[in-house]
Amino acid sequence: MNARHVVAGLSHLVAMRAKEVDRLKVDVAARDAEGARYRHHISQMTLLMQSVDTGTQVHPEHAMNGARYRSAIANLIHLHQHQLAKHEALLAGLRADLCRARLRYEQIDRVRSKKLGALELEKRARDRKLEDQQASQAWLRRRLSQQRSISTHSDQARTPCSAVLETQW
């Protein structure tokens, strides 16, 4: 398999893992807000329960009504606390999922980065090799052209001189 295809596949996988991490972050944030609402409601209901007066100076009917109200609020608080505990357990699971997703994302991104680095090194080596080959070819052409010009000059220089010398002897 071509290294570029591997890097492209890993990049796609990294993008998918990043989306998963983002989705889990949003889900955890929403669940955190829901937990905050549960805690706020519990504190508000606790204040309501404490505000009901069931002292000795109230009418007995009013005291009974207040006691029933406090009992209902206490049951509701208990129910909310139970739901909050389940919610916190679910949130802990989501946070663990987010941690695992981040870890997978980072691992795949590290592998992708290493592959990209290796691909870049390979490309630089190919480029250097090509530059070396081109430089060698240019040097060889220059050398050959210099040899041709020397041999051409020596042939041209010899021919007229040889002709003159031959005619004089």
Query: What tokens appear for 63 in the block?
Result: 């005291």
Residue 168 scores a pLDDT above 70: no
Q: Could you tell me which residues come within 8 angstroms of residue 160 by beta carbon, excluding any fewer than 6 positions away?
A: none
Task: Give tens-digit pLDDT for 125-159.
Answer: 999 999 999 999 999 999 888 888 877 666 565 55
Query: What tokens appear for 88 in the block?
Result: 């916190």
The mean pLDDT of the chain is: 87
pLDDT at 156: 60
Res. 51 pLDDT band, cuts 50 70 90: confident
Residue 167 scores a pLDDT above 60: no
Quick one: 25 exposed, middle or buried, by C-beta within 10 A (0-12, 13-18, 19+)? middle
Quick one: 121 exposed, middle or buried, by C-beta within 10 A (0-12, 13-18, 19+)? exposed
Task: Give tens-digit pLDDT for 10-47.
Answer: 899 999 999 999 999 999 999 999 999 999 999 999 99
Helix (H) / strand (E) containing 1: none
Alpha carbon 143 to its chain centroid, in Å, reads: 53
Res. 162 pLDDT band, cuts 50 70 90: low
The residue among 166 and 144 whose pLDDT is bigger is 144
